[in-house]
Amino acid sequence: MNALQLDTVRLSEDRSCLEILDQTLLPNTVRVLCLSGLEEIREAIWSLRVRGAPAIGVCAGYAIALTASRIRTKDKAVFCAEFRKQKLYLATARPTAVNLTWALDRMERVVLANLDRSVDEIKERLFVEAQAIRDEDVAISRAIGEIGFGLLRPGFGILTHCNAGTLATAKYGTATAPVYVALERGWTDLRVYCDETRPLLQGARLTAFELQSAGVDVTLLCDAMASSVMAQGRVDIVFVGCDRVARNGDTANKIGTSAVAILAKHYGIPFYVCAPSSTIDPSLENGEQIPIEERPPEEVTEMWYKERMAPAGVKVYNPAFDVTGCELITGIITEKGLCHAPYGPAFRALGIGAKR
Ligand code: MRU
């Protein structure tokens, strides 16, 4: 099986549920959940059954189209009020990935732009918009892949952190997309190093799984080993994803990303952030304003272990993301083009950053 053929999230053909590939079970079990209730879909996002900023956005679009389709009223005011309630509830699932609120806001704009139509017509338009978000995501990842591919040379060693792969998007991923493009072009000598990514192991469970299944030469590292492979000259370039980018280019991504960026700077290795323009949040001036999700201590002390691996009662700090300062970033690859510092003007030049 090639993971590129897996759908992270899709609407069932009869539009009765969301089919979500349960990523908490990978790589050992490939199971698709059929979820239709607002609570269970929110839980799937919170538990990282579906995860990765773009995939969360795609999921949110389908989710609200589905749950709004079940609002039983012909009265537009009642429909709008219930839609808004659902939207606000889903938006609380995860705070850092801006694609969640970006997609929900986009869906709400569809409602507001169609108030002259019937409730049934609005419901149809929501399904169309959700599908558009999904289809655009494939095209965006592909475009990022083409631009990132232009930065590669045969034989390169690429390091990535967490999973910004096909499993984190509708297809191709962002940080992995250049590798998939290279593979399509017949390049067989790229080497990818993926950090396991404590504590939820997205690198080990997801990136290693999907790249291996696609036939990529991938080597798994504990997070603490990145410095060593860089010092040995085995890494030529770093590609990572992002959950939210501020106007100045400061970037929130999976916890540990900023350490990789600091190492890359130390060893003189180019460090690129792969960022769909939907992940760039024009409302935030800099990274200090990015909300950082904190997750339960058990993810650090117990998850994946046969028994608890920390003393009972020890304090645990478990932020899910960190912010990499823009000064550590060589370039930000968007689907519209490659940006260099200063990022504010670079984003504006590509038409990214108009207030939403
Ligand atoms: O907590 P996760 O697994 O949702 O975190 C995912 C990441 O940090 C990814 O790098 C990011 O969302 C970009 S995915 C293209």
Provide the pLDDT for residue 304.
94
Assess whether the previous peptide bond of 199 is cis (omega < 30° from 0).
yes
Domain boundary among 100, 117, 141: 141
Q: Which residue has the tokens 């180019």?
A: 270
User: Which amino acid is present at 59?
Assistant: C
Structure letter (DSSP) for residue 204:
I
Q: Is residue 354 part of a domain?
A: no
User: Which residues are paired to 219 by β-bridges?
Assistant: 193
- Residue 134 sits in the same domain as residue 177: no
Provide the pLDDT for residue 116.
97
223 catalytic? Reply is no
The pTM (predicted TM-score) of the whole model is 0.97
H or E segment and range at residue 56: helix 53-69
Q: Is residue 356 part of a domain?
A: no
Report d(CA 38, CA 23) in Å as an integer. 19
Q: How far, in Å, from the CA of 241 to the mean position of ligand 1?
A: 7
pLDDT digits (tens, 9 = 90+) for 245-271: 999 999 999 999 999 999 999 999 999
Q: Whose CA is nearest to atom 6 of ligand 1?
A: 52
pLDDT digits (tens, 9 = 90+) for 109-143: 999 999 999 999 999 999 999 999 999 999 999 99
* Mean pLDDT, range 87-94, rounded to an integer: 98
Report d(CA 90, CA 84) in Å as an integer. 10
Domain boundary among 122, 141, 160: 141
Report d(CA 70, CA 73) in Å as an integer. 9
Q: How many domains does the chain have?
A: 2
Phi, psi of 282 (to 5 degrees): -70, -10
Q: How far, in Å, from the CA of 46 to the mean position of ligand 1?
A: 13
Report d(CA 49, CA 9) in Å as an integer. 10
Atom of ligand 1 nearest to the CA of 254: 8
Between 353 and 179, the more confident residue is: 179
Q: How far, in Å, from the CA of 277 to the mean position of ligand 1?
A: 15
- On the 0-12 / 13-18 / 19+ scale of CB atoms within 10 A, 258 is buried
Structure letter (DSSP) for residue 192:
E
* Mean pLDDT, range 60-76, rounded to an integer: 98
Residues ≥6 apart with Cβ < 8 Å to 124 = none
Q: Is residue 233 part of a domain?
A: yes
250: containing domain: 148-349
Report d(CA 316, CA 32) in Å as an integer. 33
What residue ranges line ligand 1, CB within 6 angstroms? 48, 51-54, 97, 162, 164, 168-169, 173-174, 202, 241-243, 253-254, 320
Q: How far, in Å, from the CA of 202 to the mean position of ligand 1?
A: 8
Please give the sequence-ordered ranges of beta strands (E in DSSP) within 100-250, or none if there are none. Answer: 157-160, 191-195, 217-221, 237-240, 244-245
pLDDT digits (tens, 9 = 90+) for 134-187: 999 999 999 999 999 999 999 999 999 999 999 999 999 999 999 999 999 999
- Residue 106 sits in the same domain as residue 156: no
Which residue from 243, 333, 334 has its CB within 8 A of the most atoms of ligand 1, so it is best to mutate? 243
Report d(CA 268, CA 65) in Å as an integer. 46
pLDDT-derived band at 356, boundaries 50, 70, 90: low
pLDDT-derived band at 99, boundaries 50, 70, 90: very high
- Residue 218 sits in the same domain as residue 136: no
- 352 pLDDT above the threshold of 70: yes
Please give the sequence-ordered ranges of beta strands (E in DSSP) within 170-250, or none if there are none. Answer: 191-195, 217-221, 237-240, 244-245
Q: By percentage, how much of the chain surpasses pLDDT 90?
A: 99
- 57 pLDDT above the threshold of 80: yes
Atom of ligand 1 nearest to the CA of 274: 15
pLDDT-derived band at 83, boundaries 50, 70, 90: very high
SS3 62: helix
Q: What is the CATH number of the domain that holds 290?
A: 3.40.50.10470
- On the 0-12 / 13-18 / 19+ scale of CB atoms within 10 A, 74 is exposed
Q: Is residue 355 part of a domain?
A: no
Provide the pLDDT for residue 355.
57
pLDDT digits (tens, 9 = 90+) for 295-334: 999 999 999 999 999 999 999 999 999 999 999 999 999 9
pLDDT digits (tens, 9 = 90+) for 184-230: 999 999 999 999 999 999 999 999 999 999 999 999 999 999 999 99
- Residue 158 sits in the same domain as residue 254: yes
- Residue 321 sits in the same domain as residue 172: yes
- Residue 129 sits in the same domain as residue 231: no
Domain boundary among 107, 141, 175: 141
Report d(CA 119, CA 113) in Å as an integer. 12
H or E segment and range at residue 32: strand 32-35
- Residue 170 sits in the same domain as residue 56: no
- 353 pLDDT above the threshold of 90: no
Q: How far, in Å, from the CA of 239 to the mean position of ligand 1?
A: 13
- Residue 96 sits in the same domain as residue 166: no
Q: What is the CATH number of the domain that holds 43?
A: 1.20.120.420
Catalytic residue among 195, 236, 243, 322: 243
- Residue 133 sits in the same domain as residue 258: no
